[in-house]
Amino acid sequence: MKLLEDRIVKDGKVKGTQILRVDSFLNHQMDIELFGEMAKEFKRLFEGEGINKILTIEASGIGIACIAAQTFGVPVVFAKKSPSKNLPDNIYSTKVESFTHGNIYDVMVSRQFLNKDDRILIIDDFLANGAALDGLISIVKDAGAHLCGVGIAVEKAFQPGGSRLRESGIRIESLARVASMSEEDGVTFVTE
């Protein structure tokens, strides 16, 4: 999606070759007008899939998921991150390893809000190693729901998550796919 790629080039901050900061418009300050355009693109991509619920994970996926949910006319469920203690009953949960923070946390969704009749679109802001996404996919499977696909804002395509998950048969649509980046040369994108 050219609009998002252009915005990354304009306002993204590259540190080294691995870190892309997009906190001025995507995951700290959020440009809701941009989210509206991204939502239309998700709708175009997943139209006709019969999606009845969007699943995301706190915190930075929630904004994009909510604006996207408007275009689909469906509710959002956000998975909660929790330190691994005192998990309540009646939840789906799975462990996720954070490469960013170097820890392991539990991700959970109340059983009340996911079931076998659901047709789920997962939405998140970033895809890199895919650990958080693995957790969400595992929860969808546990619930017996149908995973229609995954919508991502920014994929670091030079990290393995996207390729691995696509090879496993999951439909992943990333609005911007970063091929490489460096402080000297900026960001390049995967061209179709």
Q: Which residues bind its own copies (CB under 8 A)?
A: 23-25, 28-33, 35-36, 58-59, 62-63, 65-67, 69-70, 73-78, 80, 109-110, 112-113
Q: Using alpha carbons only, what angle is made at residue 104 by residues 113 and 19, rounded to the nearest 5 degrees?
A: 100
Name the residue nearer to its own copies (CB basis): 83 or 160. Answer: 83
- Shortest distance, position 38 Cβ to its own copies, whole Å: 12
Q: How far is the CB of 164 from its own copies (least distance, A)?
A: 27
Nearer to its own copies, 11 or 49 (CB): 11
Contact 153, 17 (CB under 8 A): no
Please, which residue, 14 or 66, has the CB nearer to its own copies? Answer: 66
CB of 42 to its own copies, least distance (A): 14
Q: Which is nearer to its own copies, 41 or 170 (CB)?
A: 41
- Minimum distance between the CB of residue 187 and its own copies, rounded to whole angstroms? 20
Q: How far is the CB of 169 from its own copies (least distance, A)?
A: 27
Question: Considering just the CA atoms, what is the radius of gyration of the chain in Å?
Answer: 16
- Residue type at 42 in one-letter notation: F
CB nearer to its own copies: pick between 98 and 168: 98
Terminal Cα distance for the chain, rounded: 11
Residue 53 neighbours by CB under 8 Å, 6+ apart: 74, 75, 76, 77, 113, 114, 118, 119, 120, 121
C-alpha 77: how far from its chain's center?
Answer: 13
Chain centroid to Cα 161, Å, comes to: 12
